[in-house]
Amino acid sequence: MFNFFKKKSEKSDINTSDIHESKQSKNDKQEKVSTGGFSLKDVLSKTSSFLVKNVLDVVSGDEISEYELEDIEAMLIKADLGLELSSEITTEIKKKKVKSSDLKDFLRQKFLEILHLAGSNRLLYDKDKLNIYFVAGINGAGKTTLIGKFAHKLRNEGKKVLLAAGDTFRAAAEEQLDIWAQRAGAEIVRKDKADSASVVYEAIKKAQNEGYNVLIIDTAGRLQNKFNLIEELKKIKNVISKNASDSIVESILVLDANLGQNGLSQAKVFGEAIDITSVALTKLDGSAKGGIILAVAKEYGLPAKLIGVGEKIDDLKDFNPDEFIEAIF
Ligand SMILES: Nc1nc2c(ncn2[C@@H]2O[C@H](COP(=O)(O)OP(=O)(O)OP(=O)(O)O)[C@@H](O)[C@H]2O)c(=O)[nH]1
Ligand SMILES: [Mg+2]
């Protein structure tokens, strides 16, 4: 299910940060990788403690003992890698007879490999087409905030951006998106309390008729129950398939980093309903559970493409596996 989209992504992807980064000096890039005024290393310091420091602290001496292997596995699980991946890693350490002094390099290589195997981390984008970003996730995950920040970033790159207020369920959700649209300098389609699929239909028509580069669709995180939520998302997906078959479509699952391993079950449920193509991990600032990026990449082949590092409009970054690994090691 995910592979189909992955192949598509490799054809036409771009990195939205390319334009910004070309303006920065090399030193700038090395020292400050966050647009929000703090370094990625700072943002990831707690994740780094859990994923790297705590694991390395387990070993002493030259060889890694059976006891230590068990502790390594426990630490990896605690770092939100999930049972399967944690067990796979410790089995490999044992099989390859990794020495204590080589453990850090082994983990670095292993983590990098997992992230790269999940596919391209660049957002799909084709300058000659309408690019639709369909944003889903549980309530409070950070969808609407992410959309606001993302719209701002795209507007800064000179793109014509339309937002669709597809969360017609939660009181004030449309108002919240409207405020973000104004901040970002994007247009919005909202039809208060209308059926979400009809809002999306109208937004697609407007985007097509008026030559927008980007349409970002906000969705509800909670309806009367989970079944209704999934049905609504499927309906929106059908509207996109039927009316924008020529568009680039990226379905982004927004995960709250603080929820850690819970992200795995969310990836399963949302993935089955709407063919998720990538993940955006929000609230990485202050979270110790950034390891979920690795678990989701490994288990569902889902690459992270965006990370949220704060509540302000500039607190969004393209996810880059090399930078991520560099920052946590
Ligand atoms: N620290 C931090 N807070 C964030 C980040 N992203 C979102 N938030 C906060 O998380 C809360 C929920 O964000 P929303 O964007 O409203 O979440 P949502 O997924 O749209 O929620 P629903 O509309 O209820 O489904 C808000 O208080 C945001 O300010 C982030 O990257 N870092
Ligand atoms: Mg919302």
185: left (phi over 0), alpha (psi -120 to 50) or beta: left
Q: Can you give the pLDDT at residue 320?
A: 97
Q: Can you give the pLDDT at residue 223?
A: 85
- What does pTM read for this prediction? 0.89
Check if 140 has its Cβ closer than 6 Å to any atom of ligand 1: yes
Check if 174 has its Cβ closer than 6 Å to any atom of ligand 1: no
Beta carbons of 240 and 132 less than 8 angstroms apart: yes
Check if 142 has its Cβ closer than 6 Å to any atom of ligand 1: yes
Beta carbons of 180 and 147 less than 8 angstroms apart: yes
- Answer whether residue 19 shows pLDDT above 70: no
pLDDT digits (tens, 9 = 90+) for 20-67: 333 333 333 333 334 456 689 999 999 999 999 999 999 999 999 999
For residue 148, the ligand 1 atom closest to its alpha carbon is 15
- Answer whether residue 269 shows pLDDT above 70: yes
Rounded Cα–Cα distance for residues 183 and 174 (Å): 14
Domain ranges of the chain: 44-117, 123-328
Residue nearest to atom 10 of ligand 1 (CA): 142
Rounded Cα–Cα distance for residues 310 and 275 (Å): 27
Check if 285 has its Cβ closer than 6 Å to any atom of ligand 1: yes
pLDDT digits (tens, 9 = 90+) for 149-189: 999 999 999 999 999 999 999 889 999 999 999 999 999 99
Rounded Cα–Cα distance for residues 87 and 77 (Å): 9
5-19, 65-79, 110-124, 148-162: which has the minimum mean pLDDT?
A: 5-19
Question: Bridge-partner residues for 256, per DSSP?
Answer: 282
181-185, 222-226, 234-238: which has the minimum mean pLDDT?
A: 222-226
Residue nearest to atom 26 of ligand 1 (CA): 142
Beta carbons of 137 and 28 less than 8 angstroms apart: no
With CA atoms as reference, report the closest residue to 165 among 236, 94, 218, 96: 218
Q: Which ligand is nearest to the CA of 141?
A: 1
Check if 132 has its Cβ closer than 6 Å to any atom of ligand 1: no
With CA atoms as reference, report the closest residue to 207 among 238, 161, 241: 161
Helical H segments across the chain, by residue range: 2-12, 17-22, 26-31, 40-43, 45-48, 54-56, 66-78, 83-95, 103-117, 143-156, 173-184, 196-209, 226-243, 262-274, 292-300, 321-328
In sequence order, the 6+-apart residues with CB closer than 8 A to the CB of 131 are 124, 125, 213, 214, 215, 247, 248, 250
Check if 137 has its Cβ closer than 6 Å to any atom of ligand 1: yes
Name the CATH topology of 44-117: Four Helix Bundle (Hemerythrin (Met), subunit A) (1.20.120)
Beta carbons of 99 and 105 less than 8 angstroms apart: no
Rounded Cα–Cα distance for residues 316 and 306 (Å): 7
Beta carbons of 48 and 294 less than 8 angstroms apart: no
Q: Can you give the pLDDT at residue 37?
A: 63
What is the arithmetic mean of pLDDT over 209-217? 98
Check if 36 has its Cβ closer than 6 Å to any atom of ligand 1: no
Sheet holding 131-136, edge to edge: 187-189, 161-166, 214-219, 131-136, 248-256, 278-282, 304-308, 316-318
Tokens at 133, concatenated: 């970003």
Residue nearest to atom 7 of ligand 1 (CA): 142
Name the CATH topology of 123-328: Rossmann fold (3.40.50)
More confident residue, 110 or 20: 110
